[in-house]
Amino acid sequence: MMKIERITVKKSERALLLRNGDFERVLGAGTHWLFAGLDQLRVEKFALDQPVFRHALADYLMAQEPAVVAAEFVRVELTEHEVGLRSENGVLVEILPPGTRRLFWKGLVEVTVLVVDLLAGAELPAALVARLTQTQLRQRAVTGLEGVLQVQVPEGTSALLSIDGKVDRLLAAGAYAFWKYGRTIAVELVDLRLQAVEVSGQDIMTRDKVGLRLNLSATYRYIDVQRAYAQLQKPADYLYRELQFALRAAVGTRTLDELLENKTVIDDVVSAFMSPKLALYGIAMESVGVKDIVLPGEMKTILTQVVQAEKQAQANVIRRREETAATRSLLNTAKVMEDNPVALRMKELETLERVAERIDKISVVGGLDQVLNGLVKLR
């Protein structure tokens, strides 16, 4: 018995005709009359607006049906050193990893694949980086981005690029992207602006066995980033440790009195200790200074007593000096009055005036001469 089937394929579709499970042909748009006979027919339809062809027969078609593949599909076969950039209607939609073998339907969506040789370099061209970052120009995100390392280097910083564990170059501010296939890419951002480091809570003993707690602040900047990271695993940690050593060298070789008399000696010693060392690694020390010097409680009490004693001694010296000057002045005045009766009389009147200022009421008996003679007797 002969069996006839009618199959309708839309203009936006394609179909695969399978006879007894084997591929027979591709059915285009239109009405198809299929004569089954004793065979088992199966028709699988595919929407052309989804151009990706995912089917178990994909490898068979590429191997055994090259004419069918050339007529109906866009064929992609990448080696292990190639990457594919797939676009649909001119818009990048997917990054195909190395070794990809895939088919895409022709007819409704224009599929193009740009093949990139990974051996030509790890960095993506600037135009391609812009296409990856300008997501507002497409309706869906690009798939396959896990094979690309995208880097944004802000203004005022740079990035140290390492490929397979070896420093390659320094990246200036801007946008970059690198292929991760077949290589290990690492990027470390480095701030080129002035940076600060705090060395806090350092307990150090002076030469005369007085324990101090100091807080140090320093600022620095990178002069040669590649040299710094080529010789130091973590430049910031190295700087912190060296500041600790410099601070101990400055404090441990001086007495407390020397440190208190010249508070900038620590800054000068630390700066002189650090500058030549850091210059070897491409780092410049901009400034360094001790923020706080904290004394033990008992030492504070002793120093307070010393200061009080010093101030008291200074006050006594000043008081004795003033008393001596006052006595000398009185002696000079007495010598003048001894030889000058008018001056003596003027002094008497001055004394009477000061006495009168403290008396509310004065009764005069015998006239003014009696008051002067009776009240003021200097001789």
The total number of residues shown for the chain amounts to: 379
More confident: 318 or 288: 288
Which amino acid belongs to residue 28?
Answer: G
Instruction: Report whether 112 contacts 86 (CB < 8 A).
Output: yes
pLDDT for residue 298 is more than 70: no
Supply angle C-alpha 352, 355, 360, rounded to 5.
120
The residues of the chain that CATH labels 3.30.479.30 are 195-295
Instruction: Report whether 229 contacts 282 (CB < 8 A).
Output: no
Classify 195-295 by CATH class: alpha beta
More confident: 360 or 15: 15
User: What pLDDT, on a 0 to 100 scale, did the predictor assign at position 26?
Assistant: 94
Take residue 276 and report the two structure tokens written for it: 């030549």
Beta strands in the chain (DSSP E): 4-9, 13-19, 22-27, 30-35, 41-47, 52-53, 73-77, 82-88, 91-96, 101-105, 111-117, 148-153, 157-163, 166-171, 174-179, 185-191, 195-205, 211-222, 283-294
In three-state secondary structure terms, 147 is helix
Distance (Å, whole) CA 79 – CA 58? 18
Mean pLDDT score, 19-28: 91
User: What pLDDT, on a 0 to 100 scale, did the predictor assign at position 330?
Assistant: 72
Instruction: Report whether 27 contacts 14 (CB < 8 A).
Output: yes
| Rg, Å, the chain Cα set | 49
pLDDT digits (tens, 9 = 90+) for 143-201: 888 999 999 999 999 999 999 988 889 999 999 999 999 899 999 999 999 999 999 88
User: What pLDDT, on a 0 to 100 scale, did the predictor assign at position 365?
Assistant: 60
pLDDT digits (tens, 9 = 90+) for 303-325: 555 556 666 777 677 877 877 87
User: What pLDDT, on a 0 to 100 scale, did the predictor assign at position 138?
Assistant: 58
